[in-house]
Structures are given as structure tokens and as C-alpha cells.
Amino acid sequence: MKFQRRKRVEPGIDITPFVDVVFLLVIFFMVSTTFTKESRLTIQLPTADVAPSEAPERSIEISVDRDGGYAINGIALINRQGDTLVRGLRELAAGNTDTPLTISADGKASHQAVITAMDAAGKAGFVHLNITTQQPTAGQE
């Protein structure tokens, strides 16, 4: 009698259930995790009740008008683009970025116009930035 050999099945481990469990754990941790957004920026807001200080001998002033137009030391710029403001600041500073820079904005100027001026000052390399305010009058407090 001739017996046939049975084909030998290679032993193996089915990892499909393991992958399923790991996948479920990943979903569980993603859903149950809370994300907190912490701010690392600490700022101290200035007060406007102090007496104004004297401007240094050599300083640069950026004026922002109600419509968002810019002027550097009283000279109006040809457009409202940030790059024009950066070029004007670099030309006026002549490489001396330690010069104090003051931003004077109209109370009705847009927030974006003031931020553009601050951004241009940063791109030009200025490190001393002041923002002017006025003291409130008796009727405005």
C-alpha cells in the first residue's frame, strides 16, 4: 500500500488580531487626549498715564494715517506696501538698527496697518521699537 505524504503546512502566526487591537488603541488615545495650547509669549502692556519721555537726538518715526498710509520722519511713502516701508527704513537707518524707532498711528488707523509697520521694522532689523500714545483728557477716561 502506497501512502502519500501529506503536504507540510509551515507554522505561522496570524498578526491580524494584534494589528486590530493596536489600531483600536491608537484611535482610543487620539480621541481621549486633550490638546492644550499654551502661549509662551509673555507681554507687559504699557500704560498711557505716565509722562511722555523725551525723544532721543536721532530717532526714526513711522507715521500711520487714518487711511493706512505711511510716512517716515514726515516724508510720505509712494504706496502702502510693506516692502516699500522696509526699503525706506533701511535707507534712512544706513545700517544702524540700534536707532530707536517710533510708530505713531492715528486712533482710527487699521490694526493691520500698524502691524505691517511693526513687521517692516522687524524685517529691517530694528530692535528698539516704541509706540506713541497720548494721555487721556478729562472727558475721555
User: pLDDT of 9-38, one tens digit each?
Assistant: 788 888 899 999 999 999 999 888 877 655
Strands (E), the chain: 60-64, 70-72, 75-76, 101-105, 129-131
- Domain assignment present for 80: yes
Distance CA 104, CA 113 (A): 11
Of 140 and 77, the structure prediction assigns the larger pLDDT to 77
Of 116 and 140, the structure prediction assigns the larger pLDDT to 116
The CATH code of the domain that includes 100 is 3.30.420.270
**Which pLDDT belongs to residue 42?**
47
Q: Is 92 exposed, middle or buried (0-12, 13-18, 19+ CB in 10 A)?
A: middle
**Which pLDDT belongs to residue 45?**
39
Q: What's the pLDDT tens digit per position in 43-53?
A: 343 445 555 55
User: Burial letters for 3-23: b for 16+ Cβ neighbours within 10 Å, e otherwise?
Assistant: eeeeeeeeeeeeeeeeeeeee
Q: Band the pLDDT of 1: cuts 50, 70, 90.
A: low
In three-state secondary structure terms, 110 is coil
- Domain assignment present for 3: no
**Which pLDDT belongs to residue 77?**
86
Q: What is the tally of structural domains in the chain?
A: 1
What is the residue range of 65's domain?
Answer: 60-131
| Sequence letter at residue 29 | F
In three-state secondary structure terms, 98 is coil
Of 115 and 39, the structure prediction assigns the larger pLDDT to 115
**Which pLDDT belongs to residue 44?**
42
- Domain assignment present for 24: no
Q: Flag whether pLDDT at 41 surpasses 50.
A: no
